[in-house]
Chains A and B, each alone.
Chain A
Amino acid sequence: MDIPILTPQLHQPKTSVGESYLRFQLNEDTPAVLLMKYVQEVLIISTGRITPIPNMPECILGLFNRRNRIFWAIDLAFMLTSQPVDASSQQYHVMIIRVGETPLSLIVREIKGTIRLVSDLQPLEEGTATIQPYLQGYIWQHQEKLLVLNAEAIVHSPSLYNY
């Protein structure tokens, strides 16, 4: 059997040019990136740690505690695509972002890692209305269409405050 991935080149020098982005899967088939400078921390928590809060918008899953601080847990996928994150999974991949003074924890399907991209951001075409306000554009890389999310837009999303 041919297993090339099992023997990686550990000290392969890599190009370190461009902006640093955090790469993640919004849902099964939607990769997305977020500028690293907004990201404070990523973590993986079990679903049980999130306490559901009643009378909140559907995208807010609840509250959870991290190092004596309380964070709102936002289902980013639901907020952007109205499709809830995979509920059968026992773990949530969480990224804590901070825009200005507002910290917010976003739950995504999977955090992939960091990626450096030379910003040849392309504008969005019309059509995807719900996701539109939160996007800066997209970047093509390795035949993948990476959505570049706008952190400020997410933080100030009306769906978080409209209730």
Chain B
Amino acid sequence: MLKQLYTRPVYITTSFIVVEQILIGADMATRFKQEPTSRHKYKKASHLNDSTRNTPQMPSSSVQHPLSGLDNHQIPTQQSNQNSVFDQLGLSFWQRLSLKTKATTLAITLSTLPIIVLGATAYYITSKTITNNVTQQQQARAIALADQFDNFISQRYLDIQNLAQSSVLNDPTVRAVVSTQSKELSLEQYIKNNPGYDNIAVIDPAGQVILQTAGEGIANYSNVDYFQQSIQTKRPVVTPPRKSLLTGEYSIYAAAPVINTTTGEVFAVVRSRTPVQYFNEILHAEAKNLAQSGNRFGVEEYFAVNDLGKVVVAPTEHLDYIGEDAQAVFPRVAPRLINNTSVGSLIDRDRVERQQYLVAYTPIQQIESQTALNWSAMVALPTAQVFAARQGLFLPFFLGTTVFTILVGAIAAHLVNRALRPVVNASLAVQKLGEGNLNTRLSVQGKDELAVLGSNINVMANQLQSLLRQQEEVTEQAQLFADVTFRIRRSLNVDDILKTAVKEVRKVLKSDRVVIYQFNSDLSGTIVAEAVAPGWTQALSDTIDDPCFKDRHIQQYKNGRVRAIDNIHQAGLTDCHIKSLERFEVKANLVAPILKDNQLLGLLIAHQCATTRAWQQAEIDLFTQLATQIGFALDQAYLLEQVEKARAVAEEASGDQRQQKESLQQQLIGLLSDVEQAAQGNLTVRAEVTAGEIGTVADFFNSIIESLRQLATNVKTAASQVNFAVAENQGAMHQLADQASQQAEAIAHSLDSLAHMTDSIQAVAASAHQAAEVTRTASLTAQVGGVAMNHTVDSILNLRQTVATTAGKVRQLSESSQQISKVVSLINQIALQTNVLAINASIEANRAGEEGRGFALVAEEIGELASQSSAATKEIEQIVENIQRETVEVAHAMELGTNQVIEGTNLVEDTKKNLRKIFDGSRQIDQLVQSISHATIAQAQTSQQVTQLIKEIALISEQTANSARQVFGSLQETTTVAQQLQVSVGVFKVDDES
């Protein structure tokens, strides 16, 4: 719904009525748009008026249209479904609100929102403008401050230049004339004339102070940078404010070379010192003046920050800021000052005072002929003061907007309330109708849509009432019908049915007389049942032969026609018909046919005798249905009567059968006496064959006796044949018995032979067992041999080990002897050297002459000993050589021994293999012998089984002999039986002759 509001801005702005239309429903709104005239109607519509009740008196035809129109409006859910643009949740919440709330809310919102927005926007723009103004003003002041600072520095520059060019200093002639004291005096004078300087000094190029005003100064300037710079460049220099080494204050130093006017040499430097404090005071005095001279804000605070981020200029109230870090004072502004080239503003919180300041800052421009200063000027004002005007603006704006909003909202709410009242009333009425209070009506005024809606609701209520009444009547009739039908059908007797029917029908219709008129075969009729109110003529059993009636109407009644006549004199009846009716004082009548299988049984007739009567359709219907029910009941009753009749006919049929039974019994007795002799064995008797069933039995009987006779004859013949055959067989049976005993004997003989065979088999088994023993012994011996061989192999291996160890030892011996020979050769070498030394010693001794004679002798002896030891070593060498040779031989012998041992091992191994073969062979033999023994055992068992079998055969043959004897006995008995049979059969009389 909101969406629609936005998509139709025309309605929003025009009037509340449009809003209402939209609120009433999207469809309605659409309809208004389609029928522009209806809006005017609506405007003129009067509200509900209690005095003029406009109850609906509309013709039914005119009701139809608004009803159908109303249907379209009574489906709000369908509407909302179509508006699928709404958020489902929002919609459900919105739907829960009452129409009035919705309309009021929307109206208030729409009327107040623009005012609030307008007020807020106006306030915002005004405040913004003020802020901008203030900021720009402050920025302008910051730039002015920077310029002022610049000027100040420039002033220093110009001053020092002037001073340097004063004749007192630079003209040598004047210099010479003027005394030092007067020079200093002139400088003091200069300071007085140009306030701001606290010290001026003249310094010679070596850095010594020549002249100086009051105030301290350092002794030697040769190391001071501006001093050096001014000498080098021969130009004036102004330093940025810096901390004075002496006073500790921030000061600006200016230095200029004093150039000899005649020679052009620099013979001194003049330098001035200005405390920044001075500049500071001037600046803030000016600021205060500015503030007092009608400026609306408070005193602005001026700051300057040097390239190191230290505050160097601060207002007199905040002199303690000087030397502080700008970061410590204005934390947000400080970072922007670094490398800043443009003017800017910022609101920052003074960290020291904890107060909000609007701070404008700008870099100080490059000072004339100076290097970049990289300083910044700042102008700060407390925001409370700056934005005082803005604060003052807020309250009037707020109050004005609020008051106006409330006013407009109230008007909107009132208007909505007025406009919605009829709709609410209609809604209430419909709700009451829904609760069942159908007497509720709306008072309708005017012709607008709401009036139409009201009248439609009224019509609807009326219709509902009448419909309800009809419904009740129908129900009542149905109940009545059910009761009557039940009573009629309670009995199965025709008379009872008819009587009950007329009584009940009269009760239901409240008529004066009800009769049932039954047609006779000649289409005349009789009144077979009647119920009449007391005081009126009785018509029961009256036969009415009405010629003017039967031809014309019977066919129509057969087709189910029901005839209702409100007044017999006005129904256009024939005179004879009226006359016959008047006989029973009839004024109005109602006739319905009673039909059964499309056959007209009779008529159900209700008469009104007192007055004429307008028959209601419901009464006619009920009457018709009752007539039909009476037809059904009669039908059933007739059916019952027919069944009763059929039963009576069936009982008559059963008398004839007894006579037939008696004649049959007599015939049976005759038959039995005929065949009596057959029981004594006379098969020649015959029964007499008569006509009828018993005759057939007798015929059967005769044929049975005939068959019996032939059977007896056959038995006789067979018995004699059996006697003959048995006599023949007796010889053969004898023979059979003899042969069976012979067979038994032969079998006993073969049993003996088998016993012999078993014995020999057992002997074979014993031999095999012995052979197995022998081979087992051989195998055992071979195994023992194998074990011994293993021992031998182990010994040989041990021997091999020992030999190998010995060889190792021998090798060690050889190595040792080699070492001995090495030592020996060393000794030999030593002996040789000793010999040489001895010779040399003796040579030396000889050379010494007589004194060295003794020494020479000793030397000779030493030489002798050396040669002896040499010889001894030679002998040792010989011996060692012998040892080595022998060890080599031993090693060789060892090797040979090892080879032999290996050979021996191989031989033993071969032997072992051979033994293994022997062992295997003996085992195979053992196995073979064992299998032989097994086979013999199996044989023995088999022979035993054979013996058993033969014994069984013997037994059987004996049994056979016995059986033969028994058969012989049986045969003899058979002969006896056959003879007895012959005698028995002889009793039957089969031939007439015998």
Q: In the complex, what residues of B have CB within 8 A of residue A10's CB? A: 865
Task: Establish whether residues A8 and B861, one from each chain, have CB atoms under 8 Å apart when the complex forms.
Answer: no
A114 to chain B, nearest CB (A): 5
Asked if A59 lies at the interface with its beta carbon under 8 angstroms from chain B, I say no
In the complex formed, the residue of A with least CB distance to B869 is A8
* Stretch in B96-104, B194-202, B419-427, B836-844 with 4+ CB within 8 Å of A: B836-844
In the complex formed, the residue of A with least CB distance to B838 is A113
Task: Establish whether residues B857 and A16, one from each chain, have CB atoms under 8 Å apart when the complex forms.
Answer: yes
Proximity bits, A108-142, B CB within 8 Å = 1, else 0:
00011110100000000000000000000000000
| Partner among B833, B839, B857, B872 whose Cβ is within 8 Å of the Cβ of A113 | B839
Asked if B888 lies at the interface with its beta carbon under 8 angstroms from chain A, I say no
Q: In the complex, what residues of B have CB within 8 A of residue A41's CB? A: 840, 843
Task: Establish whether residues A3 and B863, one from each chain, have CB atoms under 8 Å apart when the complex forms.
Answer: no
Q: In the complex, what residues of B have CB within 8 A of residue A5's CB? A: 868, 871-872, 875
Task: Establish whether residues A6 and B872, one from each chain, have CB atoms under 8 Å apart when the complex forms.
Answer: yes
Asked if B866 lies at the interface with its beta carbon under 8 angstroms from chain A, I say yes
8 A Cβ contacts from A1-25 to B: 1, 3, 5-6, 8, 10, 14, 16, 20, 22
Proximity bits, B840-858, A CB within 8 Å = 1, else 0:
1011001000000000110
| Partner among B839, B865, B868, B879 whose Cβ is within 8 Å of the Cβ of A114 | B839
A16, A39, A111, A114: which has the most chain B beta carbons within 10 Å?
A: A114
Task: Establish whether residues B840 and A42, one from each chain, have CB atoms under 8 Å apart when the complex forms.
Answer: yes
Interface SS of A by simple majority: strand
Asked if B832 lies at the interface with its beta carbon under 8 angstroms from chain A, I say yes
Asked if B867 lies at the interface with its beta carbon under 8 angstroms from chain A, I say yes
Q: In the complex, what residues of B have CB within 8 A of residue A42's CB? A: 836, 839-840, 843
Task: Establish whether residues B840 and A113, one from each chain, have CB atoms under 8 Å apart when the complex forms.
Answer: no
Distance between Cα atoms of A42 and B834 in the complex (Å): 11
Asked if A49 lies at the interface with its beta carbon under 8 angstroms from chain B, I say no
| Given the contacts A20-B842, A20-B856, A42-B843, A8 and B868 also touching, CB distance less than 8 Å | yes
Asked if B864 lies at the interface with its beta carbon under 8 angstroms from chain A, I say yes
Asked if B835 lies at the interface with its beta carbon under 8 angstroms from chain A, I say yes
Task: Establish whether residues A113 and B846, one from each chain, have CB atoms under 8 Å apart when the complex forms.
Answer: no
Distance between Cα atoms of A42 and B868 in the complex (Å): 19
B861, B869, B871, B876: which has the most chain A beta carbons within 10 Å?
A: B861
Total interface residues on B, using CB and 8 Å? 27
B851 to chain A, nearest CB (A): 15
| Given the contacts A5-B871, A41-B843, A113 and B863 also touching, CB distance less than 8 Å | yes
8 A Cβ contacts from A57-83 to B: none
Asked if B147 lies at the interface with its beta carbon under 8 angstroms from chain A, I say no
Asked if B860 lies at the interface with its beta carbon under 8 angstroms from chain A, I say yes
A63 to chain B, nearest CB (A): 21
| Given the contacts A14-B864, A20-B856, A37-B846, A44 and B832 also touching, CB distance less than 8 Å | yes
Task: Establish whether residues B835 and A113, one from each chain, have CB atoms under 8 Å apart when the complex forms.
Answer: yes
Task: Establish whether residues B832 and A3, one from each chain, have CB atoms under 8 Å apart when the complex forms.
Answer: no
Task: Establish whether residues B842 and A36, one from each chain, have CB atoms under 8 Å apart when the complex forms.
Answer: yes
Task: Establish whether residues A36 and B843, one from each chain, have CB atoms under 8 Å apart when the complex forms.
Answer: yes
Distance between Cα atoms of A39 and B871 in the complex (Å): 25
Task: Establish whether residues A114 and B836, one from each chain, have CB atoms under 8 Å apart when the complex forms.
Answer: no
A-B pair count, CB < 8 Å, reads 64
The contact size tier of chain A is: 20 to 34
Distance between Cα atoms of A3 and B863 in the complex (Å): 20
In the complex formed, the residue of A with least CB distance to B867 is A113
Distance between Cα atoms of A41 and B847 in the complex (Å): 11
A27 to chain B, nearest CB (A): 18
Task: Establish whether residues A3 and B875, one from each chain, have CB atoms under 8 Å apart when the complex forms.
Answer: yes
Proximity bits, B806-847, A CB within 8 Å = 1, else 0:
000000000000000000000000001101101110110010
Asked if A40 lies at the interface with its beta carbon under 8 angstroms from chain B, I say yes
B838 to chain A, nearest CB (A): 7
| Given the contacts A6-B872, A44-B833, A22 and B839 also touching, CB distance less than 8 Å | yes
| Given the contacts A40-B843, A42-B836, A113-B839, A1 and B879 also touching, CB distance less than 8 Å | yes
Task: Establish whether residues B842 and A114, one from each chain, have CB atoms under 8 Å apart when the complex forms.
Answer: yes
Q: In the complex, what residues of A have CB within 8 A of residue B864's CB? A: 14, 113
Q: In the complex, what residues of B have CB within 8 A of residue A6's CB? A: 872, 875-876
A6, A42, A44, A113: which has the most chain B beta carbons within 10 Å?
A: A113
A25 to chain B, nearest CB (A): 12
In the complex formed, the residue of B with least CB distance to A93 is B836
Task: Establish whether residues B871 and A43, one from each chain, have CB atoms under 8 Å apart when the complex forms.
Answer: no
Distance between Cα atoms of A138 and B829 in the complex (Å): 30
Proximity bits, B657-691, A CB within 8 Å = 1, else 0:
00000000000000000000000000000000000
B744 to chain A, nearest CB (A): 114
Distance between Cα atoms of A111 and B842 in the complex (Å): 14
Q: In the complex, what residues of A have CB within 8 A of residue B871's CB? A: 5
Proximity bits, B763-802, A CB within 8 Å = 1, else 0:
0000000000000000000000000000000000000000
Q: In the complex, what residues of B have CB within 8 A of residue A116's CB? A: 860
Distance between Cα atoms of A155 and B833 in the complex (Å): 26
Which A positions have Cβ atoms within 8 angstroms of B?
Answer: 1, 3, 5-6, 8, 10, 14, 16, 20, 22, 36-37, 39-44, 111-114, 116
Which B positions have Cβ atoms within 8 angstroms of A?
Answer: 832-833, 835-836, 838-840, 842-843, 846, 856-857, 859-861, 863-869, 871-872, 875-876, 879
Top 9 A-B pairs, shortest CB-CB distance: A113-B863, A8-B868, A42-B839, A6-B872, A5-B872, A114-B842, A114-B860, A5-B871, A113-B867
Q: Other than A37-B846, A114-B838, A114-B863, give 6 A-B pairs with Cβ distance below 8 A.
A: A3-B875, A20-B856, A39-B843, A44-B832, A111-B836, A113-B860
